[in-house]
Amino acid sequence: MLSTQWSVLSEWCKKLDINLVKEQLTKFQTYHQLLLDWNRRINLISRKDINRIISYHFIDSISAINEISEHSIVADLGTGAGLPGIPIKILRPDLKLYLVESIKKKALFLNEVLRTLQLNDAWVLNQRAETIKNLKFDFILARLLGKISEILPIAANLLFNQGKIIFYKVESSESEILQATHIAEKHKFILDKIKDTVLPTTKIKRRLVIYRKLKNSKNMME
């Protein structure tokens, strides 16, 4: 029988029209244990979040899963402990995932996770997003990473035309979105969708802010 937190994760998957199978649950549990073990050596998760890795971090990570098209190439910028990329990859093996993390110790942890969980078509890029060359992505994930206006110029160089960047933001992000308007226009982005979600158990209000990269300036009125 599943513990309460794992049951909440399973129910959240059902709400997202995902059936969490035993193999995927085992991978989540292994990942959870790796996080706890490595967190004693390097700072992956803050102390206040140790008891809510499942109820907050895992559940929050997968809240954007249905916004990502099948067989897409995805980059998780500043992924840190692998959030949100790894939880999404566990549930979506069809995706090609690049975990972008500039801190070497965290990159070592991420490689260990990919090896232990046997996640295929997933790679760690131990570098800053600004230095990525010769790679393009269909989707970029930016969970609590930085201001929209700071990340969009970086994403502009990494996305295919019509590619999207998904920001994980708090509910009160209107001013940040407004402040990014000029930057979005300059780099040929259009605000595609804003999706508000209340996470179960924690009742944290998550806002997904999604921008789409346009082909050229003529498309700005799409």
Burial class (CB in 10 A: 0-12, 13-18, 19+), 221: exposed
The dihedral sign for the CA sequence 211, 212, 213, 217: negative
DSSP letter at 133 equals -
Alpha helices by DSSP H, listed for 40-147, are: 59-61, 85-91, 104-117
Beta sheet of 137-143, edge-to-edge order: 122-125, 96-100, 73-77, 137-143, 159-170, 205-213, 189-198
Query: For residue 114, what pLDDT is reported?
Result: 98
Mean pLDDT by 10 residues, the chain (222 residues): 83 95 97 96 92 95 97 98 98 98 98 98 97 97 94 97 96 93 97 95 94 70 40
Query: For residue 41, what pLDDT is reported?
Result: 92
